Amino acid sequence: MYKDCILCERKCHIDRTKNKGLCGATDKLFIARAALHYWEEPIISGDDGSGAVFFSHCNLKCIFCQNREISNEGLGKEITIDRLSDIFIELQNKKANNINLVTPTHYVYSIIDGIDKAKEKGLNIPIVYNTSSYESMDTMKLLDGKIDIYLPDLKYYSNELAKKYSKVDNYFEIATRNIKEMYRQVGKPIIKNDLMVKGIIVRVLVLPDEIEDSKKIIKYLYDTFKDNIYISIMNQYTPVNKTEYDNLNRSLTEEEYDEVVNYALELGVNNAFIQEGETMKESFIPNFNFEGV
């Protein structure tokens, strides 16, 4: 399945059994951490935590990536699909609220096999697909019926910003097409015991000096879906990597973030999450020490 890779919209057609794709991955499955994670949205993490599995490599090339050890540098440990299925069961046994697949796009074939094997072993908690939203439509169709909760980014409204900051073309068109397909698959949110069991939360990371872009994203989401999805407005941008753009070398200000939140409120957005407190710290970045691998 990896011999002519079209999992993401780059569609590089590389034979990943012999070479690395543009994402940096071969056909071998690598992960960097599998553990309870408490810093997702409240209806994902709850009190017991989300069972987050962090996959190595990434199909985007965001110059500000906080997880660049695994996304760009490929930090991770090779595992089998059988081991992946066991990890899912181990996280369920630790009382995880869900299985949270973090940056999974380039391993979808293996992940689907892992989910199927884990269900044969008794996996019965929701599956969360945590993505940058640049999948091909072929991949989205493969995921239909396998995913309970979609947790996509909508990083940019401006394709110019997408090209500048993430080295990717036509991001908004592709990501919004995929989010519409996600909504078709899982529909309106279903919440039980204060936890989401089905639905979509779209994440909007507000970047310094780019608040107008964030406003356009939020307006698009509300105009398109109203309160049938959740919007997570995030202030946690952390400048861990020196870039050529001065605005990305600083944290977001409270004034910038408040302006975006107030804009969402003025639009009438009800189903939203906002962040308060000290989230713009490296301590909120997971330690990729192969825990649970």
What SS3 class is residue 14?
coil
Return the higher-pLDDT residue of 201 and 278: 201
Q: Write the pLDDT tens digit of every residue in 171-226.
A: 999 999 999 999 999 999 999 999 999 999 999 999 999 999 999 999 999 999 99
Backbone angles phi, psi at 61, to 5 degrees: -130, 60
Q: Write the pLDDT tens digit of every residue in 247-277.
A: 999 999 999 999 999 999 999 999 999 998 6
Per-residue pLDDT band for 68 (boundaries 50, 70, 90) equals confident
CA proximity to 230, closest of 274, 194, 267: 274
- Per CATH, the architecture of 29-284 is what? Alpha-Beta Barrel (3.20)
Domain boundaries, the chain: 29-284
Phi-psi region of 33 (alpha: psi -120 to 50; beta: other; left: phi over 0): beta
What SS3 class is residue 265?
helix
Count how many Cα atoms sit within 13 Å of the Cα of residue 70 in the half-sphere of its side chain. Answer: 23
Q: What is the pTM (predicted TM-score) of this model?
A: 0.96
Backbone angles phi, psi at 26, to 5 degrees: -100, -160
Q: Which two tokens stand for residue 188?
A: 């309106």
Backbone angles phi, psi at 200, to 5 degrees: -130, 135
Angle at 43 between CA 83 and CA 148, to 5 degrees: 50
Per-residue pLDDT band for 286 (boundaries 50, 70, 90) equals confident
CA proximity to 68, closest of 241, 247, 250, 293: 241
- Taking the C-alpha atoms of residue 78 and residue 105, their distance in angstroms, rounded to an integer, is 17
